[in-house]
A and B are shown apart, each in its own frame.
Chain A
Amino acid sequence: MSHVLAVDAGWGVTLGIKTVVVLGLIPAGALILGYTFLLKMMSHMQSRLGPMEAGPHGVLQLVADGVKFLQKEDIMPAESDRHVFAIAPAVIVMSTFLIFIVIPAGPKLVVKNLDVGVFYALAVSSLSVIGVLMAGWSSANKFALLGALRAAAQLIAYELPLLLAVVGVVAQAGTMNLQGIVGAQANGSIFGWSGIGNPFILTQFVGFGLFLVASQAELTQTPFDMPVAESELVAGYMVEYTGFRFLFFFIGEFGTAFAFAALAATLFLGGWAIPGVTNTGLMEVLGPLVLFAKLMIVAFLMFWVRFTYPRLREDQLQALAWKVLIPIGLANILVTGIFKVAF
């Protein structure tokens, strides 16, 4: 687009602005999610306060952690594959970066409004598997290797339920374009009443559940955190990473959580749109805030489950994906198709 908030700019400047915004968005999103849920919500659930020192109520704790990580010594294990070791975190963060390209935050606030937006988002999110394998293998550490192999199996297995959950939404919206999906929800109606539009969570509740479970597994969060099982592998494939390389992993993990929550909010909760408000100028400003609020709700659910449940063993995890979630997803698509044709 060549209009950035009604300012005419050449394509180079536009590209530069978009790049900077997205690159800034990922750490910011990671920090916000990390502080709210990891530091404060988890602490309060565990009947403790969490960080209180850095900034009021510890809001600057993650900033302080970031600075701490950046000034640490860069240690590479002597027997590691140096180049692969160095590039692996970048691969993971890159796949996170690529998801943000298609997520819309307003009527025109999207980096690139691809017609195959959903397809693209799910495809690039699975690039992180390569980064995980690279990290685990190049670390020259048996624990890291165990973690990476577990992660590879798990991430590939849970791609399918993720996909099947989204197919129902696509069938109902009639398009893979994310702006189109937002529009379908905002302008839709429930049995004729268009008060709150037609958020797909109402009809695709099975899909929503599947998406949450599958994204929990894609993010290797408990109950699917075998690859980084803290009490067994002590950070699994990330165990040999220190300093700013670990910071990359951390930002990648929470940035991806941010992205998946945003995707879920867009696909199931209506995205940036408030049904009934059509003033595009207003929505350019309000849209990001609305999207932010909705994704925080989704993220709350994800992290709440993370801090409560024990973790599944690898074979139980795989059995859950292949024997339970995929059949449910297929059944969901079948029912959605029937309803779509019938109504």
Chain B
Amino acid sequence: MSATDTPVPRLPELEVDRRAWRHLADAAVGVELDTGDMILNLGPQHPATHGTLRLVVRLDGERVLAADPVIGYMHRGYEKLTEVRSYPQITTLINRIDWLSSFANEVPFIHGAEKLMSIEAPPRAQYIRTILTELSRIATFVLFLGEMGLQVGALTPAFWGFRDREHVLNLIEAATGGRFHPNFNRIGGILDDLPWGWINETRNVMKIVIDSCDVFEDILAGNEIFEARTRSIGIIPGALGAAYGVSGSNLRASGVDWDLRRDGKPYLAYPEIDFKVWTHPDGDSWSRYWVRLQETRESALMVLQLLDQLPSGPIMAKVPRIIKVPEGEIWVETENPLGQMGYYIVSKGATGPFRVKIRSASFSNVSILPWLLRGVYVPDVITILASLYFILGDIDR
């Protein structure tokens, strides 16, 4: 079938109003117009919103009275797309949900598909997957450590964050071929084994990462102005955060001791290493920064452990050439850098899934903003957005 042969049909039962797209700028929001207050649009183009997030706030001077996040500027319709894709094609798609830690997005999906097929990836593959997941966690957190400083005004740590992230991206590129979107997982294992010298290089980079964490602790976490800007700002009570679905470091910074690597169903190589789960009782922006700082160091130590214990062996299990996943349903959740990511996969025995529900962490993290932003100052809005650390692709899928 060539593109020039058959004419493109028009589906008569659905006439999409193309004129609807013109009114994107005036999207109806649930904020009542009131004289005397000012309605300010933060975004969708704004340096503080990490992407195309639009925050419509009603201000009284510099105080926020009501905030309404308008999302969907980056909605790519992944759940619909997964219905017309095969499993290997879907891994390419889901790399791009949380693009700063792409490898971690593939893991729950591949894990789910493997469980449905009753295939177990060999231990070496599991270890390498774990190492790459932790490397992507380090990559995204190191960037966060620098760029939260940028949001509160310190220009320099942001560059250091990018510089240190480059080391980790080089490692990921050497192993997988892609800096940002590795697309390295396959059902049954991983694509290729590690190159020569990678393990030693990773050990060196982990030392760099740990030193860099010390630098960030000094220059930002201990800085009086940073503390004045972030302490007691944006406090999320643990129980309310859980009811909203806030997960990951955000919830741990509110004192909830819950980490799916330790507490959830066992996946990858996490049951075989020791690591500490960091929590902080305060629940404000400073503690979210501090928890991620500690978790970065912890991830570096985990990678060193994993490298020491790395088993030899095959990297791919015996898998049929055409992947047909038997009929079934499964729900898989993992501790991604941004929070809890999960996939609910329904398979009907075809080469592609019947329905995939992607539970992304940032969606729930951002849903607490209308509650969280009441009564804060405009600069604090920026601090809170920075400390929640969402990625637009994760919100909008």
Complex CA gap A310/B285 in Å reads 15
Task: State whether the Cβ of B48 lies closer than 8 Å to any Cβ in chain A.
Answer: yes
Q: Give chain A interface residues in 42-56, CB to chain B under 8 Å.
A: 42, 45-48
Task: State whether the Cβ of B229 lies closer than 8 Å to any Cβ in chain A.
Answer: yes
B156 touches which of A142, A232, A308, A315 (Cβ 8 Å) = A308
Q: Mark A195-235, 1 if CB is under 8 A from B, else 0.
A: 00000000000000000000000000011011001111010
Nearest A residue to B230 via CB reads: A310
Q: Mark B276-299, 1 if CB is under 8 A from A, else 0.
A: 000000000000000000000000
The smallest C-beta distance from A311 to any residue of chain B, in angstroms, reads 3
Establish whether residues A231 and B151, one from each chain, have CB atoms under 8 Å apart when the complex forms: yes
Task: State whether the Cβ of A314 lies closer than 8 Å to any Cβ in chain B.
Answer: yes
Establish whether residues A48 and B46, one from each chain, have CB atoms under 8 Å apart when the complex forms: no
Complex CA gap A46/B149 in Å reads 13
Complex CA gap A120/B223 in Å reads 37
A309 contacts across to B, CB distance below 8 A: 153-154, 223, 225
A142 contacts across to B, CB distance below 8 A: 38, 40
Establish whether residues B151 and A307, one from each chain, have CB atoms under 8 Å apart when the complex forms: no
Establish whether residues B46 and A234, one from each chain, have CB atoms under 8 Å apart when the complex forms: yes
Complex CA gap A303/B332 in Å reads 51
Q: Give chain A interface residues in 302-327, CB to chain B under 8 Å.
A: 306-316
Task: State whether the Cβ of B258 lies closer than 8 Å to any Cβ in chain A.
Answer: no
Task: State whether the Cβ of B81 lies closer than 8 Å to any Cβ in chain A.
Answer: no
Q: Mark B203-226, 1 if CB is under 8 A from A, else 0.
A: 000000000000000011001011
Complex CA gap A131/B136 in Å reads 48
Establish whether residues B159 and A47, one from each chain, have CB atoms under 8 Å apart when the complex forms: yes
B151 contacts across to A, CB distance below 8 A: 231
Establish whether residues B160 and A46, one from each chain, have CB atoms under 8 Å apart when the complex forms: yes
A311 contacts across to B, CB distance below 8 A: 152-154, 225, 229, 379
**Interface size bracket, A side:** 20 to 34
The smallest C-beta distance from B329 to any residue of chain A, in angstroms, reads 44
B377 touches which of A225, A308, A314 (Cβ 8 Å) = A314
The smallest C-beta distance from B74 to any residue of chain A, in angstroms, reads 20
Complex CA gap A295/B91 in Å reads 59
A47-B160, A142-B38 given; A313·B380 CB < 8 A:
yes
Complex CA gap A315/B62 in Å reads 10
Establish whether residues B378 and A232, one from each chain, have CB atoms under 8 Å apart when the complex forms: yes
The smallest C-beta distance from B234 to any residue of chain A, in angstroms, reads 13
A308 contacts across to B, CB distance below 8 A: 154, 156, 219
Task: State whether the Cβ of A146 lies closer than 8 Å to any Cβ in chain B.
Answer: yes
Residues on A lying within 8 angstroms of B by beta carbon are 42, 45-48, 142-143, 146, 222-223, 225-226, 229-232, 234, 306-316
Closest A-B pairs by Cβ, 10 of them: A311-B153, A46-B159, A310-B152, A310-B153, A310-B154, A313-B379, A231-B48, A310-B225, A231-B151, A310-B226
Knowing that A46-B159, A223-B225, A230-B47 touch, tell me 13 more A-B residue pairs with CB under 8 angstroms.
Answer: A45-B156, A226-B379, A229-B153, A229-B382, A230-B153, A231-B152, A306-B155, A308-B156, A309-B154, A310-B149, A312-B225, A313-B377, A313-B380
